[in-house]
Copies of this chain bind each other. A is one copy, B any other.
Amino acid sequence: MPQGQPSTVPDDGLTTRQRRNRPLVVVHTGEMKGKSTAAFGLALRAWNQGWPVGVFQFVKSAKWKVGEESALRALGRVHEQTGEGAPVTWHKMGEGWSWIQRPGTESDHAADAREGWEQVKRDLAAQTYRFYVLDEFTYPMKWGWVDVDDVVATLASRPGQQHVVITGRGADPRLVDAADLVVEMTKVKHPMDAGQKGQRGIEW
């Protein structure tokens, strides 16, 4: 964690407090694991601050993020029962986003991704959450399903104090440019190099 004084003081007309509390766009990218995991770790801090957490998982997966989902949902229940922390809402693409019902129909991934993004836009406009995880959202941008310029413009004009964390490989340069904080997870060493496959509790 960086310590001490910022290296420059910007000429942006904001007070230190205003600048400090400016809502952030955070991007976790790179080839290595830890991108989503660190985003869910950040969600723990948001929860503890009493910030409503909204998670949008943008890629359908056989394994999802079951551990993180169970734990964050449990924290949401803690909030319901005791008032500690904050509500947690978890949306998944591909199983049908929770705000739509399309039983029995085969869904189109591109349409699903676009629908998810439209809901994120509505939630940002309504300030539904204070902390958003758009998990693996780089991929629908990369595949052309969601327009990067629309994402950047929406993030730039979002109202209030909403923090947004976007994860996934190959973040678009326009998104990196628009972000306040970008972390790249780099591989140094991975057990699959030694022939080990993923395991329960570690990979999912």
Contact bitstring A171-204, B, C-beta under 8 A = 1, else 0: 0000010011111111111111111111111111
Name which residue of chain B comes closest to A186, CB basis.
B184
A22 at the interface (CB under 8 A from B): yes
CB-based nearest B residue for A22? B196
- CA A192 – CA B2 in complex, angstroms? 8
Give me the interface of A with B, judged by CB distance under 8 Å: 1-2, 6-10, 12, 16, 19-22, 24, 26-30, 32-34, 36-42, 44-49, 51, 66-68, 70-72, 74-75, 77-78, 84-85, 131, 163, 176, 179-204
The list of the 9 closest CB pairs from A to B, nearest first, reads A45-B67, A37-B41, A182-B188, A48-B67, A44-B71, A41-B41, A49-B201, A38-B38, A10-B195
